[in-house]
Amino acid sequence: MTWEAANGRFLAASLEWLREVLRRPGEEVPTAAVEEAEAINPPPALTVLAARLGLSRFERDTLLLCAAVELDPSIAGLCAEAHGNPHMAYPTFGLALRVLPDPAWEAVSPQGGLRYWQLIEGVSGQGVVSAPLRAAERAVNYLKGLNSLDDRLSPLVTPLARTELSASQQRVAEEVASQWALAGPVQLTGADEAAKRQITAHAAELSGLAAYRLEASALPAQPVELDLLARSWQREAALLPLALYLEDEGGARFLDRITGPAVLAVREGGPGLRSIEASPPTPAERALAWREALGSDQPVIDALAAQFALDLPGIAAVAAVAGADPEKVWQECRVRTRPRLDGRAQRLESTASWDDLVLPEQSRRLLGEIADQVGQRTRVHETWGFGERGLGLSVLFAGPSGTGKTMAAEVLANRLALDLYRIDLSTVVSKYIGETEKNLRKLFDAAEGAILFFDEAESLFGKRGEVRDAHDRYATIEVDYLLQRMEAHRGLAILATNMRSALDTAFMRRLRFVVEFAFPGPVERKTMWQKAFPTRAPCEGLDFGRLAQLQTSGAMIRTIALNAAFLAAAAGSSITIETVLAAARTEFRKLELPVPERDFRR
């Protein structure tokens, strides 16, 4: 006999016993048939429900009485006869206390199992004993052997899909499952949200549970409603059973109201719960997965493993889309890991190359060393063991406005085939205590592996004077936190400033490189003028030596060249020295710079 059939046999015997109880109130009705039908393995649904939710025998029989009206309409008439009133064809607590064995007044209270777990409906603030009772639909379905998540709860939660984990992540999942068995909820820390969800799903499977995610935005704001939702979840977790995945501070409010297997996913661990770190697969594990996915040991594999913190399903998905072409694989990884920075950063299209840079040899050499260090991270950090000293590469670009700092960042991004983001510090720094760190944490977590370009760094990294109040002390904390995140950033972080002298020397010591961008001299400006005009542009009689005498930066030269091209196009002529000088005069006036006419005459 199947369990479903055996459970039905038990329900039939229980209903027959209940009919006799209602027909013969006050008399002892034999229970041998019920006990015989109950002796199955696994036990009947009513027995399991009562055990998991801690119901007394009287509470269990009261629930059966309320559900019986739904299972057998004839029970309603028997209730009316037992009440002695044809209009009361329904169960009540009063009736249960009078006809069922071992009555207990505690079952009527709000803390009794029936009302606390929301197994019955219809009880109001007044007339608790005489109010018509009905079993909740969830309870009736469970008794019949239909065990699915409550319809009132299912719109609020999302099942966590189990995916393939690396060996290191499997060990974390096993630790989570062990902790659930010993002490209940845990904190999963780290920046990788996908890893935390996947580890939770795997830990739930190891524990024989189904894992669901409850977003903080779905939680009620009112404490009473939050308590009711917590009770519903706790009931479902016991009946199905379930594991819960919650996120950030909002989830902590809910976690305080429940027990059992649960995960609170946070960036950094706090007091009260066991903290376990969840990370993406290690670079070595990613390299192994890339070799299996690409079917070869290509030289690009170590670079892929070091740069992109993809999980194992992500690596397989990239290989399925891009095949074994290294360039296509790299580009697909860039797209899949491209961060969402909520307006706090602007992604720059990096088209500039080394040939576009006009810099002193020392500065070019330093930029080359920076690119080489990004490319050799796996060997130095992983193979040679230097990773314990920090993974980040923090550099400073110092020089006047328009001298090529942004272009140099674009050249590095182009050389390394990585995304470049310019950070507007004004959208990150907040006057409210704690908000700046929160913004920075979200920024760095989202942009892991990308190149971050912080312009006008002196606005945050200025020299620290005397600490006069709490705001001054907190500003120092903000700066220290930013430097700490830059040093831990698995990528390149660039600070750019027009005023190196304004920076605190204590911060300078924590930077790996400082690249100077001096205002160009005549020789550099001549080269910049020569590079400013594409080979296809119709230039005629341009005297680059003459133009190099103008006190212009590289950015000004590019703007002047472009405006001169438009002047020539509008006039239907070639780009001549006259059109370039006219565009230069306009640019100088725009920037409110002196315009000595002798410098702008032919």
Q: Following DSSP, what letter does each residue of 432-483 receive, concatenated?
A: STTHHHHHHHHHHHHTTTSEEEE-STHHHHBPP----SHHHHHHHHHHHHHH
* % of the chain residues with pLDDT over 90: 58
Could you report the per-residue pLDDT of 362-405, keeping only the tens digit for each? Answer: 999 999 999 999 888 777 877 777 766 566 788 999 999 889 99
C-alpha pair distances (Å), 85 with each of 63, 73, 77, 278, 450:
22, 17, 10, 63, 77
Better-scored residue on pLDDT, 383 or 514: 514
Which of 110-114, 210-214, 360-364, 503-507 has the lowest average pLDDT?
Answer: 503-507
Stretch 237-258: mean pLDDT, rounded? 90
pLDDT-derived band of residue 433, with 50, 70 and 90 as boundaries?
Answer: low
Beta bridge partners of 398: 497, 516
Q: What angle do CA 586, 590, 593 make, to 5 degrees?
A: 95
Q: Residue written as tokens 């992604």?
A: 347
For residue 465, what pLDDT is reported?
A: 46
- Residues belonging to the chain: 602
| Alpha carbons 47 and 443: distance in angstroms, whole number | 52
For residue 93, what pLDDT is reported?
A: 93
Could you report the per-residue pLDDT of 55-75, keeping only the tens digit for each? Answer: 999 999 999 999 999 999 899
Q: Residue written as tokens 């080269």?
A: 527
| Alpha carbons 569 and 556: distance in angstroms, whole number | 20
* pLDDT mean across residues, the chain: 88
For residue 474, what pLDDT is reported?
A: 47
- The radius of gyration of the chain's CA atoms, rounded to the nearest angstrom, is 36
Complete DSSP assignment for 401-444: TTSSHHHHHHHHHHHHT--EEEE-GGGT--SSTTHHHHHHHHHH
- The secondary structure of residue 515, as a DSSP letter, is E
Stretch 110-132: mean pLDDT, rounded? 86
For residue 480, what pLDDT is reported?
A: 79
For residue 389, what pLDDT is reported?
A: 59
- The secondary structure of residue 311, as a DSSP letter, is -
pLDDT at 48 over 70: yes
CB-based contacts of 145, cutoff 8 Å, min separation 6? 3, 4, 7, 8, 45
For residue 248, what pLDDT is reported?
A: 77
| Alpha carbons 522 and 557: distance in angstroms, whole number | 12
Could you report the per-residue pLDDT of 455-512, keeping only the tens digit for each? Answer: 877 766 655 444 444 444 445 667 778 878 888 888 899 988 887 776 767 777 888 8
Which of 21-35, 77-91, 275-289, 501-515 has the lowest average pLDDT?
Answer: 501-515
| Interstrand relation of 451-454 and 420-423 (parallel, antiparallel or unpaired) | parallel
Stretch 318-347: mean pLDDT, rounded? 85
Contact yes or no for 337/489 (Cβ under 8 A)? no
Amino acid identity of 37? A
| Alpha carbons 22 and 28: distance in angstroms, whole number | 11
Range ranked top by mean pLDDT from 166-175, 430-439, 540-549: 166-175
For residue 141, what pLDDT is reported?
A: 96
The structural domains of the chain, ordered by start, are 3-143 (no CATH), 154-277 (3.40.50.300), 283-336 (no CATH), 345-516 (3.40.50.300), 522-600 (1.10.8.60)
| Alpha carbons 370 and 335: distance in angstroms, whole number | 24
Beta bridge partners of 503: 462
Stretch 100-118: mean pLDDT, rounded? 92
| Alpha carbons 270 and 289: distance in angstroms, whole number | 34
pLDDT-derived band of residue 306, with 50, 70 and 90 as boundaries?
Answer: confident
Better-scored residue on pLDDT, 468 or 157: 157
For residue 370, what pLDDT is reported?
A: 93
